[in-house]
A and B are shown apart, each in its own frame.
Chain A
Amino acid sequence: SYVLTQPPSVSVAPGQTAYIACGGNNIGYKSVHWYQQRPGQAPVLVIYYNNDRPSGIPERFSGSNSGNTATLTISRVEAGDEADYYCQVWDTSNDNAVFGPGTKVTVL
């Protein structure tokens, strides 16, 4: 089965840029989706198809995907961005979704 890796935590100062990596074998050939989850809440899709933003998601959120790493970038970080972030792909060989283990973003 397809496996995704993420760093457990990322710390960033307000106004700076956060980079959250998602690793997988040749993940650049897949579409990667990203979710934000605040404590006690359901996940919220923030990026789909590697770099598309659903309506209502600020332009500060962007994504990229190449080789073995996809990256979620949060520019001009705000206190409200503090949350867990999960990457997700579709494993076509097993016909199921795969989530990364999640990255906790802390705003200093």
Chain B
Amino acid sequence: QVQLVQSGAEVKKPGASVKVSCEASGYKFTNFALTWVRQAPGQGLEWMGWINPYNANAKSVQNLQDRVTMTTDTSTSTAYIELRNLRSDDTAVYYCARADPGGSTYYYVFWGQGTLVTVSS
């Protein structure tokens, strides 16, 4: 069965960096892109970006482009997202999700359990 297992909660100070991992199993890792979505406390879902493990092509939303890096390790079927220069409004639960393609759309059947990142001085 498909599973996405994320790393544990993190507490960071403003200006620091955080790296969250997402280990995939139950399918061929390079066959599907992985997406990162975050959710601030009491807020909605924010799509952050995605990466294709087959060729490592990645794209993030414009307002995060200068602070975020997405990578994959195909030897361990693990995706990573690193967010630099953390601010208090980066406090959120970060989810990875497998992007299932369908013509001109993508949807998300499989999600990680979420990783809480708290940014506080």
Question: Which residues of A pack against B, CB within 8 Å?
Answer: 30-31, 33, 35, 37, 42-45, 48-49, 54, 84, 86, 88-90, 92, 95-102
Using A42-B95, A42-B112 as known contacts, say yes or no to A31 and B105 having CB atoms under 8 A apart: yes
Contact B104 A92 (CB under 8 A): yes
Q: CB-nearest residue of chain B relative to A34?
A: B107
Using A42-B95, A96-B59, A102-B44 as known contacts, say yes or no to A54 and B103 having CB atoms under 8 A apart: no
Given contact pairs A49-B107, A54-B109, enumerate 4 new A-B contacts (beta carbons under 8 Å).
A30-B105, A31-B105, A86-B44, A99-B45
The distance in angstroms between the C-alpha atoms of A43 and B109, with both chains bound, is: 9
Total A-B contacts with CB atoms under 8 angstroms apart: 62
Question: Which residues of B pack against A, CB within 8 Å?
Answer: 35, 37, 44-47, 49-50, 59, 61, 95, 102-109, 111-114
Question: Smallest Cβ distance from A56 to chain B, in angstroms?
Answer: 11
Contact B47 A98 (CB under 8 A): yes
Using A42-B112, A97-B35 as known contacts, say yes or no to A48 and B107 having CB atoms under 8 A apart: yes
A-side contacts of B107, CB under 8 Å: 31, 33, 45, 48-49, 88
Question: Smallest Cβ distance from B74 to chain A, in angstroms?
Answer: 23
Question: Smallest Cβ distance from A5 to chain B, in angstroms?
Answer: 12
CB within 8 A of B44: which of A49, A54, A96, A101? A101
Chosen A-B contacts, 5 in total, with CB atoms closer than 8 Å, are A31-B104, A35-B45, A88-B108, A95-B59, A99-B46
